Amino acid sequence: MDLIDKLASLAQRYEELNTLMAGPEVLDDLALLQRYGREHAELEKVVQQYYDLLKIDKQIAEAQEMQQSSDDAELRDLAYEEGEYLKRSREQLIEQIKISLLPKDRMDDKNAIVTIQAGTGGDEAALFAGELLRMYSRYADMHRWKIEVLDVNEMGQGGIRDITFVVKGKGAYSRMKYEGGTHRVQRVPVTESNGRIHTSTAKVIVLPEVDDDINIEIKDNDIRVDVYRSTGHGGQSVNTTDSAVRITHMPSGLVVTCQDEKSQLKNKLKAMTVLKSRLWDMEEERRQEELRKTRHSQVQTGDRSEKIRTYNFPQDRVTDHRIGLTRHNLPDVMSGEIDEFIDNLIAVDQIEKLQNL
């Protein structure tokens, strides 16, 4: 099946869904209506592009006919120029259609579970982890997403040893997943009396929030649930009841904690959500390892040991090492303006996928 036949088939299915969703038997079945609605929404963009392609093809044919049939030399020249312009537009549209047809990551529409961990660099690494949290908080605000903290281990002066939070909003994971990896900062710490530049790191882990659409089985006898009192900065108890929850998954060795809620039940439910996401990620890592045996990805989105970005304060420089993109607007980046990096990462990722088709 060539590209045009494929598009015609998708357009036929799109129109069929329009009819199906208007039928009384589907309107009475909410689950079926939602399933058809999701499929309809997924097809809408590429089908509209197909209709645009048909329109351009018709216009090209009309320009060619005018060029061949007109007795007016000036009109023939205009028709030729119009035809060449339309052909270039058609080529650009075809490339856009190919991108639209790329296999979708089924997790892209999910919320994102983000963990930031201070790495090498002691207190300076913890301060940098806190700044990354503020950067992502502002980035979430720009996209009208919400952030919900699940667990945090703070230190003084705004530093964070580690924190786990959920970024809630449609498509949050589709963009935040490109932030996973090791972030490096180069600057003179406030505690440095000799003005020497130090290098510190923070590790960012991004997982999709696994919901009821994804089946992750966790047996009761595979987990141990411990409860304890929530603690704040300095280790002091912030609740008078044992509401904090620690879940240990014995087969994998994964440990998840949640102490944000005052309710033990709510903390347990949130911790189970994080555990499911981490188990899904372990399985996904195994699947990706099989793929890596046959091809190497230029844009790594999940390798947590990989140094993905450097923030150099003395030179006002931010460099994303995966795509070699450098910008000299570090204050803006730390204020959440990271879309340029993510947009370029997505573009390179799409180009590679097209080459691998």
CATH of 112-293+300-353, one of 3.30.70.1660, 3.40.50.300, 3.40.50.10320, 3.40.50.880: 3.30.70.1660
What's residue 177's pLDDT?
95
What's residue 303's pLDDT?
47
Residue whose C-alpha is closest to residue 90's, from 43, 58, 128, 134: 58
What's residue 232's pLDDT?
55
What's residue 234's pLDDT?
46
Owner of token pair 């209506």? 33
Percent of the chain exceeding pLDDT 90 equals 63
- Per residue, what are the HEC states of the chain? CCHHHHHHHHHHHHHHHHHHHCCHHHHCCHHHHHHHHHHHHHHHHHHHHHHHHHHHHHHHHHHHHHHHHCCCHHHHHHHHHHHHHHHHHHHHHHHHHHHHCCCCCCCCCCCEEEEEEECCCCHHHHHHHHHHHHHHHHHHHHCCCEEEEEEEEECHHHCEEEEEEEEECCCHHHHHHHHCEEEEEEECCCCCCCCCCEEEEEEEEEEECCCCCCCCCCCHHHEEEEEECCECHHHCECCCCCCEEEEEECCCCEEEEECCCCCHHHHHHHHHHHHHHHHHHHHHHHHHHHHHCCCCCCCCCCCCCCEEEEEECCCCEEEECCCCEEECCHHHHHCCCCHHHHHHHHHHHHHHHHHHC
**Interval 157-168 mean pLDDT:** 92
Length of the chain: 357
pLDDT, tens digit, 9 for 90 and up, residues 126-154: 999 999 999 999 999 999 999 999 999 98
Quick count: other Cβ atoms within 10 Å of Cβ 270?
24
Burial class, 176, CB count within 10 angstroms (exposed 0-12 / middle 13-18 / buried 19+)? buried
pLDDT, tens digit, 9 for 90 and up, residues 200-232: 999 999 999 987 667 788 998 999 999 987 765
Instruction: For residue 315, give both structure tokens.
Output: 């030179």
pLDDT, tens digit, 9 for 90 and up, residues 39-74: 999 899 999 999 999 999 999 999 999 999 988 899
The answer, yes or no, to whether residue 166 has pLDDT greater than 70, is yes
- When pLDDT is cut at 50, 70 and 90, the band that residue 294 belongs to is very low
pLDDT, tens digit, 9 for 90 and up, residues 5-16: 989 999 999 999
**Interval 337-345 mean pLDDT:** 96
Q: Which part of the chain has CATH 3.30.70.1660? A: 112-293+300-353
Lowest mean per-residue pLDDT among 20-29, 78-87, 209-218, 317-326:
209-218
d(CA 232, CA 165): 16
d(CA 313, CA 327): 12
Q: pLDDT averaged over the chain?
A: 88
Which is higher by pLDDT, 240 or 41?
41
CATH 1.10.1740 for domain 3-100, yes or no, is no
The answer, yes or no, to whether residue 236 has pLDDT greater than 60, is no
d(CA 179, CA 346): 12
What's residue 238's pLDDT?
47
pLDDT, tens digit, 9 for 90 and up, residues 80-109: 999 999 999 999 999 899 888 887 777 888
φ, ψ for residue 130, nearest 5 deg: -65, -35
- When pLDDT is cut at 50, 70 and 90, the band that residue 285 belongs to is confident
Q: Which part of the chain has CATH 1.20.58? A: 3-100
**Interval 28-34 mean pLDDT:** 90
pTM tops 0.75: no
Burial class, 250, CB count within 10 angstroms (exposed 0-12 / middle 13-18 / buried 19+)? exposed
